[in-house]
Chain A
Amino acid sequence: MPIIVNLDVMMAKRKISSGDLAKKIEITPANLSILKTGKAKAIRFSTLEKLCEVLDCQPADILEFRKEDSHADEI
């Protein structure tokens, strides 16, 4: 998917563990793991809001758009 979730980078910058973050934004560690590994298909505004609040950042710090390499499959 061309949307990259850079949550682990922000977490490392803020020095916060997955467990703590999950507790603070009130989601389960399993759901946070889905988000971190890029398996999530969508993110609620409420979750994004809480993430930005806890990590003290902007949505763009967490989400990134990267164009897919169309030649990747051919190689």
Chain B
Amino acid sequence: MWNQDKSLNLSILLVRVLFVLIIILALCVPIMVRWYDIVSPDRTGLISGSVFWPLSICLYLSAICGEVCLYHLYKLLKNIKNDIVFKTENCKHLRYISWCCLLVAIPFGIFGFWRFLGFFVAFAAAFFGLVLRVLKNVFVRAVEIQEENDYTI
């Protein structure tokens, strides 16, 4: 029977898998970028030429942000599993995740000058970061309400 605990365990497992996957993908960045450099049309950005270095830097920075994101996501899920939900610590994790998403938008925004596709990725990352930021604000308020409830005798 599917229950909340199993769902939480699945989320934790997926986070772990993704953590390893990002490391593997980061190791494959030179191969992927070289392939992309060959297949992508050259005139789809303001700056023409090879995208090997810009895209490599972009992907490595994103990989670092992704790993930080996943670490905080893992901590958040562990806290939820231990029934620590509306606590200041979780707000901190959400804030870090949101900042990581916003940080990813910067290199991809710059990469957009080489290939316009970068702008779309940057927009998606910034949008996701913003959504998480709003979620964090909701969480902060929820923590206040929870504390008020805890201290109502």
Q: Point out residues on A near B: beta carbons under 8 Å.
A: 27, 31-32, 34-35, 39-44, 47
Contact = CB atoms under 8 A, between A and B. Distances in A.
Contacts of A41: 147-148, 151-152
Given A35-B153, A41-B152, A43-B152, 7 more contacts: A32-B153, A34-B151, A39-B151, A41-B148, A41-B151, A42-B153, A47-B153
Interface residues of B, number: 5
Nearest to B151: A41
Interface in B119-153: 147-148, 151-153
> What is the interface of chain B mostly: helix, strand, loop, or mixed?
mixed
A27 B152 CA distance: 12
B152 A44 contact: yes
Contacts of B147: 41
A59 to B, nearest CB: 14
A40 B152 CA distance: 6
A52 to B, nearest CB: 14
Contacts of B153: 27, 31-32, 34-35, 40, 42-44, 47
A41 to B, nearest CB: 4
Contacts of A32: 153
A41 B3 CA distance: 35
18 contacts: A31-B153, A32-B153, A34-B151, A34-B153, A35-B153, A39-B151, A40-B151, A40-B152, A41-B147, A41-B148, A41-B151, A41-B152, A42-B148, A42-B152, A42-B153, A43-B152, A43-B153, A44-B152
B144 to A, nearest CB: 10
Contacts of A44: 152-153
